[in-house]
A and B are shown apart, each in its own frame.
Chain A
Amino acid sequence: MSLETSWYLAAAAILFILGAYCIAVKRNMIKIVIGVEILTSAVHLNFVALGSELSPTLAVEALAQSVVIVSIVIAAAIATLALLLVINAHRHYATLDVRRLRRLRW
Chain B
Amino acid sequence: MEYITEIFVWPAWLSWIFPMLGAVLTPLLAKVHSKVRDYGAIVFSFLAMVMTLSLIPYLWEGKYFHNQVLWVVMEGAPVLSRLMAGVIVDPLSIIMANVVAVIGFLIMVYSLGYMHGDPSLTRYWFFMNFFIGSMLLLVMSDNIIQLLFGWEGVGLCSYALIGFWHRDSKEDWLKCWVGEGPEAYPPSHCGMKAFITTRMGDLFFLLGAFLLLAFAGTLNFVELQGGAILRVPLAVLIPAAILLFGGPIGKSAQLPLMEWLPDAMAGPTTVSALIHAATMVNAGVYLVGRVFPMFYTAVWHGGAANELITFFYVIAWVGAITAFVAGSQGMVSSEIKKVLAYSTVSQLGYMMLALGIAGSTAEFLVGYVGGVFHLMSHAMFKAALFLTAGAVIHTCESRFMTHMGGIRRYMPITFWCMSLAAFSLMGVPLLFSGFWSKDMVLEAPLLAGQYWIFALGAVTVAVTSFYSVRMLGLTFFGPKSSHLAEQERHGHHVHEAPKVMWIPFLALVIGTLAFGVMGPFVKGWFEGVFHEYLGELLPAGGGHSEAVAVHGFPHELAVWVTAGISVAMLLAGALPAYFLYVKRKLEPSVFLQRYGLLAVLRQFVLNRWYINRFFYKAIVYPMIGGCMWALKKIELGVIDRFNYVLANATAGFSNSFRKTHSGILTHNVEGIILGFVVFFLLLALTVMG
Residues of A within 8 A of B (CB): 20, 23-27, 32, 98-99, 101-106
Given contacts A99-B665, A102-B662, 7 further A-B contacts (CB under 8 A): A20-B669, A24-B666, A24-B669, A26-B666, A104-B663, A105-B662, A106-B658
Nearest Cβ distance between residue B252 and chain A, in whole angstroms?
67
Contact of B659 (CB < 8 Å), options: A23, A25, A106? A106
Residues of B within 8 A of A (CB): 658-659, 661-666, 669-670, 673
Residue of B nearest to A106 (CB): B658
Given contacts A24-B673, A106-B658, contact A32 B665 (CB under 8 A): yes
Chain B residues positioned under 8 Å from A105 (CB to CB):
661-664
Would you list 25 pairs from A and B whose C-beta atoms are within 8 A, ordered by A residue? A24-B666, A24-B669, A24-B670, A24-B673, A25-B666, A26-B666, A27-B666, A32-B665, A98-B664, A98-B666, A99-B664, A99-B665, A99-B666, A101-B664, A101-B665, A102-B662, A102-B663, A102-B664, A104-B663, A105-B662, A105-B663, A105-B664, A106-B658, A106-B659, A106-B663
Nearest Cβ distance between residue B667 and chain A, in whole angstroms?
9
Task: Give the docked Cα–Cα distance between A65 and B673 (Å).
Answer: 29
Task: Give the docked Cα–Cα distance between A99 and B662 (Å).
Answer: 10
Residue of B nearest to A20 (CB): B673
The 7 closest A-B pairs by CB, nearest first: A105-B663, A102-B663, A106-B658, A24-B669, A98-B665, A23-B669, A24-B670
Task: Give the docked Cα–Cα distance between A106 and B662 (Å).
Answer: 6
Nearest Cβ distance between residue B346 and chain A, in whole angstroms?
75
Nearest Cβ distance between residue B673 and chain A, in whole angstroms?
6
Nearest Cβ distance between residue A5 and chain B, in whole angstroms?
24
Chain B residues positioned under 8 Å from A98 (CB to CB):
664-666
Interface residues of B: mostly helix, strand, loop or mixed? helix
Task: Give the docked Cα–Cα distance between A99 and B659 (Å).
Answer: 15
Task: Give the docked Cα–Cα distance between A69 and B664 (Å).
Answer: 33
Chain B residues positioned under 8 Å from A32 (CB to CB):
665
Nearest Cβ distance between residue B242 and chain A, in whole angstroms?
69
Residue of A nearest to B659 (CB): A106
Nearest Cβ distance between residue B663 and chain A, in whole angstroms?
3
Contact of A103 (CB < 8 Å), options: B661, B663, B673? B663
Task: Give the docked Cα–Cα distance between A32 and B664 (Å).
Answer: 13
Nearest Cβ distance between residue B680 and chain A, in whole angstroms?
14
Task: Give the docked Cα–Cα distance between A98 and B670 (Å).
Answer: 14
Chain A residues positioned under 8 Å from B662 (CB to CB):
102, 105
Task: Give the docked Cα–Cα distance between A27 and B666 (Å).
Answer: 8
Residue of B nearest to A103 (CB): B663
Nearest Cβ distance between residue A84 and chain B, in whole angstroms?
17
Task: Give the docked Cα–Cα distance between A102 and B663 (Å).
Answer: 5
Chain A residues positioned under 8 Å from B669 (CB to CB):
20, 23-24
Task: Give the docked Cα–Cα distance between A9 and B621 (Å).
Answer: 86
Chain A residues positioned under 8 Å from B659 (CB to CB):
106
Q: Are A106 and B661 in contact (CB under 8 A)?
A: yes
Residue of B nearest to A22 (CB): B669
Task: Give the docked Cα–Cα distance between A25 and B658 (Å).
Answer: 22
Residue of A nearest to B655 (CB): A106
Nearest Cβ distance between residue B121 and chain A, in whole angstroms?
54
Nearest Cβ distance between residue B319 and chain A, in whole angstroms?
75
Chain A residues positioned under 8 Å from B666 (CB to CB):
24-27, 98-99
Residue of A nearest to B662 (CB): A105
Task: Give the docked Cα–Cα distance between A42 and B659 (Å).
Answer: 34
Chain B residues positioned under 8 Å from A20 (CB to CB):
669, 673
Residue of B nearest to A26 (CB): B666
Residue of B nearest to A35 (CB): B669
Task: Give the docked Cα–Cα distance between A106 and B659 (Å).
Answer: 6
Task: Give the docked Cα–Cα distance between A20 and B666 (Å).
Answer: 11
Residue of B nearest to A29 (CB): B665
Chain A residues positioned under 8 Å from B664 (CB to CB):
98-99, 101-102, 105
Task: Give the docked Cα–Cα distance between A44 and B247 (Å).
Answer: 86
Chain A residues positioned under 8 Å from B665 (CB to CB):
32, 98-99, 101
Nearest Cβ distance between residue B675 and chain A, in whole angstroms?
13
